[in-house]
Amino acid sequence: MATDDEVVETAADAAEDVIFARLSVSEVEDYDVTVTFEERVLDVDIYVKAPDASADEERVADDAALAARGAVDELLTD
């Protein structure tokens, strides 16, 4: 069974992977990935500010959150 810290780290890593797969580091002015896992409830909040990027910031944030949840699902089912 994964620890709460492992769950949070897995989710955050997956989210950052998506953000920087879609946006270059130079395009991202600011971003925040907040993950909590308490009482078996996962909460993922992602903010991306990349005003000069060709990708839609909101879409990237949403996809990053989905990836975070998927990574945690996979971790918890192994």
Q: Please state the domain count of the chain.
A: 1
Residues 6+ apart with CB under 8 A from 61: 19, 46, 47, 48
Whichever domain contains 51, its CATH number is 3.30.300.100
**Domain carrying residue 72:** 4-77
- What is the predicted pLDDT for the residue at 13? 98
pLDDT digits (tens, 9 = 90+) for 5-64: 999 999 999 999 999 999 999 999 999 999 999 999 999 999 999 999 999 999 999 999
Q: How confident is the model at residue 78 (pLDDT cuts 50, 70, 90)?
A: confident
